């Protein structure tokens, strides 16, 4: 009995296995998360524009889907976001990110990070997508659509390296004031052959 107890405690202290799609078939869609109890916990957390003196508010909850909700205020930064904890993810065998969302008619941004740096600071990659008010839809964002940015300013490069994904995020930064609500049911990486 003591051996089983010690073994169980050792298992609980082992680090979580990072998401890894490097060995996946290029023709297969990969589920990154669907927010169910059996899905990987990506460690989502909130970053609002109050980090730079803004007044926007945002938060999220997970229960079978992720619900991202709040209010943007353009007197300040004008954005709200949620981001994953650091990860190591190789999606080089895939063509882009597929989201299953129910929106509110506002424009949102999917955000990726890699090891890329600009003047020693981490670069983030943004791709905007539109939503339909109260309607579920599938959004496909090709990796080629992601634009490198630093603190919101567009950069000339480097281009996104899908083999070096270190984080993902969802953001609203559409230069509008007011409430927002987005439901996210799943996040996949899709192959070029699946592109619609």
Flag whether 8 is in a domain. Answer: no
Paired tokens of 88: 């190591």
Flag whether 61 is in a domain. Answer: yes
Closest CA to 24 of 122, 73, 90, 75: 90
Residue 195: which pLDDT band, with cuts at 50, 70 and 90? Answer: low
Report pTM: 0.84
pLDDT per position as a tens digit, 4-62: 333 333 333 333 434 544 444 556 899 999 998 888 889 999 999 998 889 999 999 99
CATH of the domain at 34: 2.60.120.430
Flag whether 25 is in a domain. Answer: no
Q: How many domains does the chain have?
A: 1
pLDDT per position as a tens digit, 136-191: 999 999 999 999 999 888 999 899 999 999 999 999 999 999 999 999 999 999 99
Flag whether 4 is in a domain. Answer: no
Residue pair 137/101 in contact by the 8 Å Cβ criterion: yes
Flag whether 3 is in a domain. Answer: no
Flag whether 132 is in a domain. Answer: yes
Flag whether 143 is in a domain. Answer: yes
Helix (H) or strand (E) holding 4: helix 2-13
pLDDT, residue 30, reads: 95
**What is the DSSP-derived secondary structure letter of residue 174?**
S
Flag whether 149 is in a domain. Answer: yes
d(CA 164, CA 116): 9
Please give the residue range of the domain that contains residue 85.
30-194
pLDDT per position as a tens digit, 79-91: 999 999 999 999 9
d(CA 165, CA 124): 10
């Amino acid at each position: 009995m003591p051996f089983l107890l010690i073994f169980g405690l050792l298992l609980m202290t082992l680090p979580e296995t990072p998401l890894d799609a490097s060995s996946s078939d290029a023709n297969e869609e990969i589920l990154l998360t669907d927010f169910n109890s059996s899905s990987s916990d990506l460690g989502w957390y909130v970053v609002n524009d109050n980090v730079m003196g803004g007044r926007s508010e945002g938060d999220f909850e997970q229960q079978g889907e992720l619900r991202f909700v709040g209010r943007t205020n353009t007197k300040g930064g004008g954005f709200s976001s949620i981001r994953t904890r650091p990860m190591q993810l190789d999606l080089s065998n895939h063509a882009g990110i597929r989201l299953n969302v129910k929106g509110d008619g506002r424009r949102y941004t999917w955000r990726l990070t890699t090891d890329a740096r600009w003047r020693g600071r981490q670069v983030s990659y943004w791709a905007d997508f539109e939503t339909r008010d109260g309607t579920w839809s599938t959004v496909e964002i090709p990796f080629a659509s992601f634009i490198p940015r630093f603190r919101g300013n567009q950069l000339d490069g480097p281009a996104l390296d899908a083999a070096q994904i270190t984080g993902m995020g969802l953001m609203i930064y559409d230069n509008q004031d007011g409430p927002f609500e987005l439901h996210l049911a799943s996040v996949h990486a899709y192959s070029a052959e699946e592109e619609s």
